[in-house]
Amino acid sequence: MLKTSHAAHRDLSLPIEQPVTRPDTKAQVVIRPLPAQARFSLRLNEADLEGAQTAAGVTLDIPINTRSGSAERSSIRLGPNEWLLTGPYDDAEVIASQIDAALSGRFYTLVDVSHRNVGITVSGRRAAEVLNSGCPLDLAEAAFPTGMATRTLMGKAEIVLMRLDDTPTYQVECWRSFSTYVRDYLIEAAREFEPSIA
Amino acid sequence: MLLVTCPYCGPRPEIEFRCGGEAHIARPAEPSKLSDKEWAEFLFVRTNAKGVFAERWNHAHGCQRWFNALRDTASDRFIQTYKVGEKRPDRTPGQERL
Amino acid sequence: MDQAYRLPEGGRIDRKKPVSISFNGQTVQGYAGDTVASALLANGIHLVARSFKYHRPRGIVTHGSDEPNALLDVDRGRGRSDPNNRATVVEVFNGLAVASQNHWPSLDFDVGEVNDLLSPVIVSGFYYKTFMWPRTFWTKVYEPRIRAAAGLGRAPTVADPDRYQYRHAHCDVLVVGSGPAGLTAALAASESGKRVIIVDEQAELGGSLLHDVTSLIDGIPAQDWVRQAVDTLDSRANVVVLPRTTAFGYYNHNHIALAERVTDHLADPSSNLPRERLWQVRAKQVVLATGSHERPLVFADNDRPGIMLAESVRAFINRYGVAPGRQIVFATSGASAYTAAADAKAAGLAVSVVDVRSEAECGPEVAQLRSMGCEVLTGHTVVASRGRKRVTGLIVAPVSADGRVGARRTLRCDCVGMSGGWTPAIHLFSQSRAKARYEPSLDAFVPGTSVQAERSVGAAKGAYQLGECLRQGWMAGAEAAEHVSERTFDATNSPAGFKPVRVLPTDVNPKRLRAFVDFQNDVTAKDIRLAVREGFESIEHVKRYTTTGMATDQGKTSNMNALGLVAGTLDRPIPAVGTTTFRLPYTPTTFGAFVGPSRHHLFDPIRTTPIHEWAAAHGAEFENVGLWKRAWYFPKAGEDMHAAMARECKAARTSVGIFDASTLGKIEVVGPDAAEFMNRIYTNAWLKLEPGKCRYGLMLKEDGYIMDDGVVARLAHDRFHVTTTTGGAPRVLAHMEDYLQTEWPDLKVFLTSITEQYAVIALQGPKAREVIEPLVTDIDLSPGAFPHMSVRTGFICGIPCRLFRVSFTGELGFEINVPSDYGQSVWEAIFERGKPFGITPYGTETMHVLRAEKGFIIVGQETDGTVTPDDLGLSGLIAKTKPDFVGKRSLSRPDIVSAGRKQLVGLVTDNPNEVLEEGAQIVMDPNQTIPMRMVGHVTSSYWSSNCDRSIALALLAGGRSRMGSRVYVTTPTGFTTAKICEPVFFDPAGERVNA
């Protein structure tokens, strides 16, 4: 995507060098801003999913509000005709061309939102309680198992919340300008469990 | 706070939604053919029912889809939610679910 | 103090952990486990308050959250002060300071007590009757004086230093209350593995069993049974136990609000802990085991310190090991007080009982107590109490079946335990919108049919027998969890049942009778009867007229007595009088709990742009635009806003200015029907706009008024890059989605917000092209190849960009869209490159001035939701050939085409140095009579350094036909004069933009 002679450099919305909390195994909750990722908003009518169950290495034909794939490539189905696709930042062009190839002939739209969203992971024994400070959803195992992903709220900010693994690790995605609010809201909620938070 | 059953996402808290007022008021296909009175009625006049009422909801902080709901405005109970384009279910007030 | 009234043994306090607190500056000793009330009583302190209206000495009436009298100011140190805390629920810790309220100069000597002497005058409705004339005194004299004299505690004066948190939670069964019924409900519900939350307002689970030292449950003492039950619940991973947590609100669809007090009982809590946590619980099923409240007896001077509820005497003795007195008279109309009396006797205190019931109306409890050596006077009434700041005796007399009162006799005492029966706590049930039902056998309202997934059990449902409470709780818990489990409990039955008596029979002249129904509001039986005589028949009206049942306790102890009195006076059955609505919160809830973490930097999201850091580092002042922080102006050393703006404005017109436009809303509209969709949403025509071209788009609501505007670029045949106003971005996207999903679902187009995908750098001024030329690749910037209102994609500083040639200033301008993470870096590169040209960063204020000089509107400033395109002179933007678009039909509505609508004009003041006020009203003749006919208002007004004078835009009735006329514009001191002109002040030919 970049030309070789680029003079400009990136300034991420949230610094990623340091996790906000101690990363040691005893920590009850660890909050960590994520590095840059490639992200696309894919829109495709449900009827056009037939014959295009997979694209760009991820499964599209998954239930609404679930996520499939790996840390490398994932598809998150946010609604009947909306997916958030993610992958390594440098794969952006590859992902776009793979989607184009897989969906050609259908009506779909693909919009690059790599810079729109910011990701933060929240993991550890107390992660769900911390998230439930601002998120009104039921995050119990039965209601929000690994693989669940949905748009919802964190305090006054809209987020996409997904559960990545059984640690549990959750990923919170929000728009860039809300990222300090969301991070600080999580830090404030985590403080009682993780007094090491600065 | 209401618990609203989005036809796509299931039961979700009211703060994820926006209510869009009365449902099943289609935009006239050819507005220019309407008299001023007819147009004003389309724009401004709503039923404001006490009891079962069909209304528009948008899962704004969820799947962002619009859908319709039958809600009893007196008890706030939802009788049913259904997708845009589906017919208003034929329900009477006795059939509300808790 | 030496805790002279602490019993030698017993209670759940920890005698190994002495605690000292201060009360009105005096040190008071107690033990861990005490409440402030039990610690004060352990030291013989009964006088703790002055009453609201008459400033009568008052003591502790209850042992729980229903306390009407003992309201204290609590100071936990370091700015943590809080008025109107009930002494009966505040837990002690070392260093806690409490103080009584509502007196001057002291609790012991309060001059306000003069009100008590005036009580024949200050009857209910006194204020309404007295402070009627003259009308001018209402707001200036009466209200401020009365307000100053009224009120209880003092609000804290410093910001709350504590943290507060929220928690959303879900469960299968929420159990409210942890007395016998609540505990068995939670045990049964959790047996199934379902998720259970059990909450109780007290520090420990157990409810009434915490002060029951005689009952056996399944063969073991009740308190041991409680311990086992709590251990079982604690051991179950599916149970959340929340003590010190009040379920204060029952909302729709089983949404329950809880206030958890996390640190109030701790002497030195960690600063990482929230003081309180507001829980919002969504429960599939709710079990309400909220217990019941004991009623006081209504007799003359029943409010003396030392007179309390009978069950509370029992609680202080058994739970806290405190003797509320050494010589206690129990006055009762029912059986439960005998249990309290027996416990007091067993604790070694002198006990006698006065029972208004005849011997025949009583049960075996009388004989049992007599066998313990206590005097029991059945068929006796209480005529009055003796004493002033502490009860010293009770005047009793025999009463015949027809109410005749016999010879008086005084029982000496230092404490009275009274019991007028019991009232189920149906507050939450009632909040759930269900209707209560009057049950004559209980003389109380009990839960009727549930309207939500809820069950009431135990005393909350009118079950006063321990075994029955345990059984009901278990059954409800099991049913709520859909878990089949039968259990019976073998429990001691305590005597229950009472005879409802509204006002005890008396020989006192009713006009002089000071028998209190509502302690907190100083409402007497006489007040309520007066209200009824004056025609207030609905209990809701009586409540408001007399104030009975209002304030912090909401009449928990007084409601049924008041209701019974009204019904009796009207000679109607209680259901015909009705009951007042139980409103939330159940008990007072702090503002902090509601506010939660939403304070300071978390009050609202503070949205910043990718270029924010640069602006902050370069001294920008910021303004709030919606949730955004936008650079407002960039003052240099010594500059004020005016000077900075003047400099910035000049720079943009003479060399080049750079502006952060990242907050503009951006929507990507994509699909084969994208142009058709745009055609229907905007007033303009889009089908023929070529890819690579831009157009200024105007959007209406269906009612024909302007909703938003912005430049739209067609990137490709099927792809538009739409910009919106900063504040309108979410609204516009929602508007578009609504039409797309619900009106035109057949259109093949999708919408995606890209507001935050791109940082937008606006470069405006004659030197703009020269500045970016060396940085841009793959785009021919020459005017011929890239004219005004075009868009190209290419690279800047090696970064892919969408480059717009647009202008909101009237100058040669570019808006450079780069992926957000590169925004600041590209900005810096441009800034560096622009230095030789004198590149000047400018903020929103300069942006506003530059566009006003050109007469460009701002939606929300020149429009207010009632302004049409024609009002602004923008009829040219309405595609005449389109048969329809959103709002088109409304543009021919009669009131929109009528003459005399306000139209956009320019105003120039006669004094060029005078800057009008935005929002100022305009009149044609300042000498007309008031109210004047206002013909318009100023929408924008600035000092223009480029015009070297002030300029203004205004909406003015028939404005376009009044060019050149003089108008009068209001100023803070009067009027000033201005002349109507075309709303363009700079470069009217518009040539500079094509440079």
**Which of C254, C451, C888 is nearest residue B31 as measured by Cβ atoms?**
C888
Do residues C400 and C68 lie in contact, with contact meaning Cβ atoms separated by under 8 Å? no
**Which of A116, A155, A178 is nearest residue C754 as measured by Cβ atoms?**
A116
Sheet holding C97-100, edge to edge: C26-32, C14-23, C97-100, C71-75, C81-86
Q: Tell me how far apart the alpha carbons of residues C112 and C55 are, in angstroms, rounded to a whole number.
A: 6
Averaged over C314-329, what is the pLDDT?
A: 98
Interface test with B, best of A135, A151, A162, A172 (most B CBs within 10 A): A151
Q: Tell me how far apart the alpha carbons of residues C272 and C275 are, in angstroms, rounded to a whole number.
A: 9
The pLDDT of residue C622 is 98
Residue A164 placed within a domain = yes
pLDDT confidence tier of residue C77, bands split at 50, 70 and 90: confident
Any residues with CB less than 8 A from the CB of C573 and at least 6 apart, and which? C438, C567
Can you tell me which residue has the tokens 């209206």? Answer: C53
Interface test with B, best of A43, A46, A65 (most B CBs within 10 A): A65
pLDDT surpassing 60 at residue C603: yes
The pLDDT of residue A21 is 59
Given the cut 0.85, state whether the ipTM is greater than it: yes
How confident is the model over C402-427, as pLDDT tens digits? 989 999 999 999 999 999 999 999 99
A195 to chain C: which residues are within 8 Å by CB? 270, 272
Whether B9 sits inside 8 A of A64 (CB atoms) is: yes
DSSP secondary structure letters along C330-374 = EEESBSHHHHHHHHHHHTT-EEEEEESS-GGG--THHHHHHHTT-
Q: Who has greater pLDDT, C510 or C541?
A: C541
The pLDDT of residue A4 is 34
pLDDT confidence tier of residue A20, bands split at 50, 70 and 90: low
Residue A55: give the domain boundaries: 30-190
Mean pLDDT of chain C: 95
pLDDT surpassing 90 at residue C223: yes
User: What does the block give as tokens for C535?
Assistant: 């025609």
Do residues A67 and A75 lie in contact, with contact meaning Cβ atoms separated by under 8 Å? yes
Do residues A53 and A36 lie in contact, with contact meaning Cβ atoms separated by under 8 Å? no
Q: Tell me how far apart the alpha carbons of residues C54 and C475 are, in angstroms, rounded to a whole number.
A: 48
Q: Tell me how far apart the alpha carbons of residues C501 and C519 are, in angstroms, rounded to a whole number.
A: 18
| CATH number for A52 | 3.30.1360.120
**Which of A80, A150, A158 is nearest residue B65 as measured by Cβ atoms?**
A80
Chains touching C (3+ CB pairs < 8 Å): A, B
Residue C758 CB coordination number (10 Å):
26
Residue A2 placed within a domain = no
The pLDDT of residue C103 is 84
Domains, chain B: 3-95 (3.30.2270.10)
Whether A82 sits inside 8 A of B63 (CB atoms) is: yes
Q: Tell me how far apart the alpha carbons of residues C28 and C746 are, in angstroms, rounded to a whole number.
A: 78
Residue A45 placed within a domain = yes
Beta bridge partners of C520: none
Chain B 20-59, CB below 8 Å of chain C: which residues?
20, 26-27, 30-32, 34, 36, 39-40, 43, 56, 58
pLDDT confidence tier of residue A5, bands split at 50, 70 and 90: very low
Residue A11 placed within a domain = no
Give the 3-state secondary structure of residue C923.
strand
Residue C622 CB coordination number (10 Å):
18
Q: Who has greater pLDDT, A20 or C348?
A: C348
CA dist C306 → C46, C208, C415 (Å): 6, 22, 5
Q: Tell me how far apart the alpha carbons of residues C333 and C340 are, in angstroms, rounded to a whole number.
A: 14
CA dist B34 → B40, C138, C268, C898 (Å): 9, 54, 73, 19
How confident is the model over C643-671, as pLDDT tens digits? 999 999 999 999 999 999 999 999 999 99
Using the Cβ of B74 and the Cβ atoms of chain C, whether some distance falls under 8 Å is answered with: no
The pLDDT of residue B91 is 67
How confident is the model over C716-766, as pLDDT tens digits? 999 999 999 999 999 999 999 999 999 999 999 999 999 999 999 999 999
Residue A21 placed within a domain = no
Q: Residue C495 CA to chain centroid, in angstroms?
A: 43
**Among candidate residues C974, C649, C630, C623, the one with its CA nearest the CA of residue C809:** C649
B62 to chain A: which residues are within 8 Å by CB? 79, 150-152
Any residues with CB less than 8 A from the CB of C848 and at least 6 apart, and which? C858, C940, C942
Instruction: Return the half-sphere exposure (C-beta side, CA atoms, 13 A cut-off) of residue C620.
Output: 25
The pLDDT of residue B98 is 40
Residue A5 placed within a domain = no
Interface test with B, best of C449, C742, C885, C891 (most B CBs within 10 A): C742
DSSP secondary structure letters along C633-652 = E-PPTT--HHHHHHHHHHHH
Nearest chain C residue to A189, by CA: C165
Domains, chain C: 1-159 (3.10.20.440), 166-292+424-480 (3.50.50.60), 296-420 (3.50.50.60), 501-596 (1.10.10), 662-760+773-807 (3.30.70.1400), 899-994 (2.40.30.110)
Would you give the DSSP letter of residue C140? Answer: I
What's the total number of domains in chain A? Answer: 1
pLDDT surpassing 80 at residue C542: yes
pLDDT-flagged residues of chain B (< 50): 96-98
Q: Tell me how far apart the alpha carbons of residues C959 and A132 are, in angstroms, rounded to a whole number.
A: 56
B16 to chain A: which residues are within 8 Å by CB? 136, 152-153
Residue C389 CB coordination number (10 Å):
16
Chains touching A (3+ CB pairs < 8 Å): B, C
Q: Tell me how far apart the alpha carbons of residues C468 and C462 are, in angstroms, rounded to a whole number.
A: 10
Of the candidate ranges C13-17, C194-198, C474-478, C549-553, the one whose mean pLDDT is the lowest:
C549-553
Averaged over C703-728, what is the pLDDT?
A: 97
The pLDDT of residue B97 is 47
pLDDT confidence tier of residue A82, bands split at 50, 70 and 90: very high
Minimal CA separation from A69 to chain C, in Å: 23
Averaged over C957-966, what is the pLDDT?
A: 96
Q: Tell me how far apart the alpha carbons of residues B84 and B72 are, in angstroms, rounded to a whole number.
A: 19
Chains touching B (3+ CB pairs < 8 Å): A, C
Residue C971 CB coordination number (10 Å):
12
Whether C824 sits inside 8 A of A133 (CB atoms) is: no
Using the Cβ of A64 and the Cβ atoms of chain B, whether some distance falls under 8 Å is answered with: yes
Any residues with CB less than 8 A from the CB of C546 and at least 6 apart, and which? C124, C125, C518, C521, C523, C527, C528, C531
Residue C467, sorted as left (phi over 0), alpha (psi -120 to 50) or beta, turns out to be alpha
How confident is the model over C143-186, as pLDDT tens digits? 777 666 666 678 888 899 999 999 999 999 999 999 999 999 99
Residue A79 placed within a domain = yes
Q: Tell me how far apart the alpha carbons of residues C226 and A155 are, in angstroms, rounded to a whole number.
A: 38
A80 to chain B: which residues are within 8 Å by CB? 8, 63, 65
Q: Is residue A37 within a helix (H) or strand (E), and if so which, with residue range? A: strand A37-44
Residue A109 placed within a domain = yes
Q: Which residues of A158-183 are buried (b: 16+ CB within 10 A; e: fewer)?
A: bbbbbbbeeebbbbbbbbbbbbbbbb
Interface test with A, best of B4, B9, B12, B64 (most A CBs within 10 A): B9
Instruction: Return the half-sphere exposure (C-beta side, CA atoms, 13 A cut-off) of residue C415.
Output: 31
Rg of chain A taking only CA atoms, in angstroms: 17
Q: How large a percentage of chain C has pLDDT more than 70?
A: 99
The pLDDT of residue C34 is 98
